[in-house]
Amino acid sequence: MRLLSVNGNKRFFLSRYHKNVLKWLEEVDPDVVTVQEPWVNKPARWWKLQNYHLVGASDDVLVWSKPHVTAAVLQVADHRVAFKANGFEIHAVHLDPYKGTTRRNQLKDLQEGGGNNGKPMVVVGDFNLAPRPQDGRFGNAHSTATGADERRAFDDFLGTFQLVDATRVEGVEPEFTFERKYEGQWFRGRCDLALLPSALEPDQARAVYDHEVRTGPGAFTDHSAIVVDLPDW
């Protein structure tokens, strides 16, 4: 099963970008699509995605699946949609972009509400935090936007559900998924994440970034997307 996650930067359905979105979806061919910040407002017609069925929607997250995928919503909160698909419990999340205390509370909510279905857990989305100091940079220095308490909460969450940060690679420069200029300095962050069960072997699952959606000629957002391939369980 191919799972796709992207922050749409409120452009996902805007007419001048949506043709790029549809072309990209055709190329990537995901079975499940999860989008954070898909809209400027929320007219019901925007819930429809060509060739996909709506699984669940919150104020800030949308999830669709292809007709052949058996998917059902489990929980909905402002910042996440939980659903089951192909033997996995999947949480599509968009944590608060402004306050670390809110993000910690949202991680706590996820920790308390997840893992109740006896299925392996997967979490994808825009966490708006840097898991390690080197995952956030302001100019040439580590960014202070993510606090130590947030990182502890994030690590505790990983430990509770035996998850791994699948796009984290040691010993090399992080793949930043968001870049923006503030006050003459570049802020870069690896905040779009895929958390996968540690029990999965490397040949069973993979998570890779697609940076073209924010840097390529058909760009439609300011975040990189995540493409996750999972086994059918």
Q: According to the model, what pLDDT value does residue 182 have?
A: 84
Residue 44 has pLDDT above 70, yes or no: no
In sequence order, the 6+-apart residues with CB closer than 8 A to the CB of 152 are: none
Q: What is the mean pLDDT of the chain?
A: 94
Q: In this predicted structure, what is the pLDDT of residue 217?
A: 96
Between CA 202 and CA 211 the distance in angstroms is 22
CB 55 within 8 A of CB 83: yes
Quote the CA–CA distance of 232 and 228 in Å, as a whole number.
13
Q: What is the pLDDT of residue 40?
A: 74
**Nearest to 101, CA basis, from 135, 129, 126, 59:** 129
Locate 39 and state its tokens: 């809209």
pLDDT for the residue numbered 46: 60
Tokens of 127: 């966490």
Cα dist from 65 to 22, 33, 134, whole Å? 14, 6, 34
CA distances from 162 to 16, 18, 89 (A): 41, 37, 14
Per-residue pLDDT reduced to its tens digit, 150-209: 999 999 999 999 999 999 998 899 999 999 988 889 999 999 999 999 999 988 999 999
Residue 43 has pLDDT above 90, yes or no: no
pLDDT at residue 42 is higher than 80: no
- pLDDT at res. 118: 87
Q: How does pLDDT run across 95-150, given as a tens digit for each residue?
A: 999 999 999 999 999 999 998 888 999 999 999 999 999 999 999 889 999 999 99
Q: Helix, strand, or coil here: 215?
A: helix
Residue in this structure with the two tokens 């570049």, named with its chain if needed: 186
Q: Which one, of 34, 41, 32, lies nearest residue 11 by Cα?
A: 41
For residue 111, how many C-alpha atoms fall within 13 Å in the half-sphere facing its CB? 16
User: What is the CA angle 126-132-133, rounded to 5?
Assistant: 115
Q: Of 18-22, 163-167, 201-205, 220-224, which gets the smallest average pLDDT?
A: 201-205
Please list, in sequence order, all residues whose beta carbon lies within 8 angstroms of the beta carbon of residue 202, skipping any fewer than 6 positions away: none
How many C-beta neighbours within 10 Å does residue 63 have? Answer: 28
- The better pLDDT of the pair 182, 32 is held by 32
The pairing of strands 206-210 and 225-229 is antiparallel
Domains of the chain and any CATH numbers: 2-229 (3.60.10.10)
